[in-house]
Structure 1
Amino acid sequence: MLINQVREKYPKYLWWIAGMIVLLNITAWKLTDNAPQTRLAVVDTSLILNKLPEVNQASQALDTLKAQLAAQLQSKLDAYSLKQEELASNKDKLADLILKDKQAELQQMQKSIQEFQKAANDEFSKKESESLTPIWNNLQLTINNVAKEMGFTHVINSNNQQNPILLYSLESTVINDAVLVKLGLDISQSE
């Protein structure tokens, strides 16, 4: 009954609307028919990075640099503390001009320590970036190549401990071994 009322009231619009619905359905069917199938893969970059000798070498070099910078900073802090204790113990015995000069020396030492800390942080960050960026770039290129060769449309990094990106995956989609082989590494010790 309702259909008949609509047909009588809107006869030419009804056919137009029906035609549009059919056209949209055909278009949607064609689009999904030609769409590439989504294939996901999972890779654990931490596992792979831990197996790369370049990462170990870079890590050792960065640890050495960090130790050198820390030793130099500690030396400056020790000298500052010694000078501060010396000034505190002789404060009453020193003339005003000498006391002001020693206080200015301490301020200069403190400024030097702050500048060194900033420069040390900058130097460490620069060396870390110089060491690790080529490794990350090579790993990314390798993952891209393996994914293309294996026909995957997406690769998900599964090692994010804070906010896991992946909650479930099929064993057959984990491509760690393929990436390790492509990098020329031993896969017999894969976890």
Structure 2
Amino acid sequence: MKKLITAFSLAAGLFLATNMANAQQKIGHVNSDDIFANLPEAKTAEASLDAFTKTKQSEIEKLITTYQTKLKAAQDKEKTISEANKETVIKELTAAQTELQTLGKGIEEARTKAAQDVSKKQSELFTPIQQKVSTMISTVAKEKGLAYVFDVAASQGNSNLAYVDGGEDITPTVKSKLGATGTAKSAGK
């Protein structure tokens, strides 16, 4: 009986030790903001997006200037109204009002289209970079035998990850493999 209890205790101990070893999975963290801030192709994409956005803003500003010029002309025309030219001026002001309404709608449509174009351009520029970074994070995590990797970047909403103590920071390795430059930023310990 004593041998049975000893064998059972030994088996239970081995079972618990095996489960504890399996339960101790390695955890790491990465700061994707730091990676993107130091990745040359992300900087290039950001500059390209800024230039594209400024072009769209310039186009809208031209439309607004045209609108303002025509509005001022209509307001000046309104001041010239008299009994002698009343009918002619009213016709001209009605035509100007219609033109101003059309221009106003055109400005709003241009703003909406510009916002869509900028969003599309941002997606075109950054989606491949994000996929590349994500793939590299997965690769580094697998190389290091990590079961979980948390992104501690502020832009990723790290508000639910208030404290990081331990775990392996794979940000420098991912940055190195992607050719990013610069030093790691604190993840808010």
- TM bucket normalised to smaller: 0.7 to 0.9
| Counterpart residue number, 1:39 | 26
Q: 5 Å matches for 1:70-81? A: 70-81=57-68
After superposition, the CA RMSD in angstroms is: 2.5
Choose from 117, 133, 136 the match for 1:139: 133
- Structure-2 separation of matches of 1:36 and 1:143: 22
Query: Per-residue CA shift, 1:5-40, capped at 9, x if unaligned?
Result: xxxxxxxxxxxxxxxxxxxx9xx9599368453211
Does residue 170 of structure 2 align to residue 175 of structure 1? Answer: yes
Choose from 135, 150, 156 the match for 1:156: 150
Q: 5 Å matches for 1:81-120? A: 81-92=68-79, 93=81, 95-120=89-114
Structure 2 CA distance for partners of 1:88 and 1:81, relative to 1, 3 Å:
same
Query: Per-residue CA shift, 1:83-124, capped at 9, x if unaligned?
Result: 111111211535222211110000000011011001100100
Residue 46 of structure 1 aligns with an amino acid whose one-letter code is D
- Structure-1 separation of matches of 2:33 and 2:26: 22
User: Which secondary structure state, in structure 1, belongs to the residue aligned with residue 146 of structure 2?
Assistant: coil
- Structure-2 separation of matches of 1:97 and 1:68: 37
Shift of 1:134: 0.3
Structure of larger gyration radius: 1
Structure 2 CA distance for partners of 1:31 and 1:105, relative to 1, 3 Å:
farther
Give the % identical residues.
25
Q: Which runs of 5+ in 1 are unaligned?
A: 1-24
Residue 153 of structure 2 aligns with an amino acid whose one-letter code is N
Q: TM-score w.r.t. structure 2 length? A: 0.77
| Counterpart residue number, 2:50 | 63
Residue 58 of structure 1 aligns with an amino acid whose one-letter code is A
Q: Which runs of 5+ in 2 are unaligned?
A: 1-11, 82-87
- Structure-1 separation of matches of 2:54 and 2:181: 32
Shift of 1:78: 1.2
Q: TM-score w.r.t. structure 1 length? A: 0.76
Shift of 1:138: 0.4
State the structure with bigger RCO (CA 8 A, min sep 6), 1 or 2.
Answer: 2
Contact kept? 1:158, 1:164, Cα under 8 Å: no
Residue 109 of structure 2 aligns with an amino acid whose one-letter code is E
Residue 179 of structure 2 aligns with an amino acid whose one-letter code is G
User: Which secondary structure state, in structure 1, belongs to the residue aligned with residue 149 of structure 2?
Assistant: strand
